[in-house]
Amino acid sequence: MTPFSYKCTDCGRTYSRDEVRYLCPECGKSYRPGIPLTGVLEAVFDYDAIATAFNQDRPDWNLFCPVETEFHPPLPVGNTPMARVGS
């Protein structure tokens, strides 16, 4: 599990990953459709814990992803090779 917490970009309150998902419960109360979101949460990673768990010989890049692997797409994405095509 990726060690991180959420921090509100407006008020600075922090939340555990299990408390909230997208918006700060306090700042997000003022949201109305058609206006910019308030209380957007950013993921704040615990880099010391990641450094302890990271193995350079067999890197687990999921340590840097705030989305749990069970919610990843069923097909691998990324690292798509580029191919030159004719004109």
Q: Report yes or no on 54 lying in a domain.
A: yes
Each as own residue / partner, the long-range contacts of residues 56-62 (CB below 8 Å, 24 or more positions apart, any chain) are: 62/2
83: left (phi over 0), alpha (psi -120 to 50) or beta: beta
CB 4 within 8 A of CB 44: yes
pTM of the model: 0.64
Gap between the Cα atoms of 40 and 37, Å rounded:
7
Whether 86 is covered by a domain: the verdict is no
- Structural domain of residue 24, as residue ranges? 4-68
For the chain, 87 residues long, give each residue's pLDDT as a single digit of tens.
Answer: 678 899 999 999 999 888 877 899 999 888 888 999 999 999 898 888 888 888 888 877 777 777 777 777 777 777 777 788 887
Residue 23 lies in a domain: yes
Q: How many independent structural domains does the chain possess?
A: 1
Q: What is the pLDDT of residue 6?
A: 92
Is residue 87 in some structural domain?
Answer: no
pLDDT of residue 69: 76
Within a domain: residue 74?
Answer: no
pLDDT value at residue 1: 67
Tokens 């970009």 locate to: 9
